[in-house]
A and B are shown apart, each in its own frame.
Chain A
């Protein structure tokens, strides 16, 4: 059974704080790692697809890094804003599994 774990489960920060959370995935048979943002009452929105060890991707104040050898990815949010409040999901593509395996997400709440 392939497990994708995200930590912490939830996070409360103040507006302006920078924050980060972790996605852990199997380090063997890696093909790609996806990050999605899911705001309440909306549909999940793709943030990044990362494929290479050492990859770093950035979108505005959000960035992500990837370590395929040890099986983890970090998502960073710089200067959190209330509109960043959402559940952040990572999903692992192991190639041969022929599907995305999602973690249960990190729920971020940014207080004004």
Chain B
């Protein structure tokens, strides 16, 4: 069974640009979660999608947005990139809801120059 896959592995952008990160969940998982790990900080919750709907978003500005497609894959979009957006972005999936363990992808390392 394929695990959670994320693309790209690395992404280099400049300030003001837009970035799109992608995530494919484990087959059968309906929930997708996005997390940010900035240097020196723990995992910060960004977004939770389930069955195509946004269930919750973390304390991030509106320029962080995303969506979930009918096949349950997901995109995270970050507009007007700022230097502090440089971080590892992790995607996780679960069969549905927070009571299930989350299965993580390898992440996308986003670097803003």
Closest CB in chain B relative to A39 CB, distance in Å: 12
A49 near B101 with CB under 8 A, answer yes
B45 near A100 with CB under 8 A, answer yes
B101 near A98 with CB under 8 A, answer no
Instruction: Kindly supply a per-residue 1/0 record for chain A positions 88-107, scoring 1 wherever the CB is within 8 Å of any chain B CB and 0 otherwise.
Output: 01010100001111111100
A101 near B100 with CB under 8 A, answer no
| Interfacial chain A residues near B43, Cβ < 8 Å | 44, 89, 91, 102
A/B pair count, beta carbons within 8 Å: 58
| Interfacial chain A residues near B98, Cβ < 8 Å | 31-32, 93, 98-100
Question: What CA separation (Å) do A31 and B97 show in the bound complex?
Answer: 12
| Interfacial chain B residues near A28, Cβ < 8 Å | none
B106's partner among A32, A34, A43, A48 (CB-CB below 8 A) is: A43
Q: Please, how many residues of chain B have a CB less than 8 angstroms from a CB on the other chain?
A: 25
Interface of B is mostly: loop
Question: What CA separation (Å) do A93 and B35 show in the bound complex?
Answer: 15
- Interface centre among A42, A46, A99, by most chain B C-beta atoms within 10 angstroms, is A99
Q: Select from chain B the residue with minimum beta-carbon distance to A45.
A: B104
Residue B48 is within 8 A (CB to CB) of chain A in the complex: yes
Closest 7 CB pairs of A and B: A46-B101, A104-B42, A43-B104, A98-B56, A102-B43, A99-B45, A44-B104
Q: Please, could you name 9 A-B residue pairs with CB atoms under 8 Å apart, sorted by A?
A: A43-B104, A43-B105, A49-B99, A89-B43, A93-B99, A98-B56, A101-B45, A102-B42, A103-B42
Taking beta carbons and an 8 Å cutoff, which residues of A are in contact with B? 31-32, 34, 36, 42-46, 48-49, 51, 89, 91, 93, 98-105
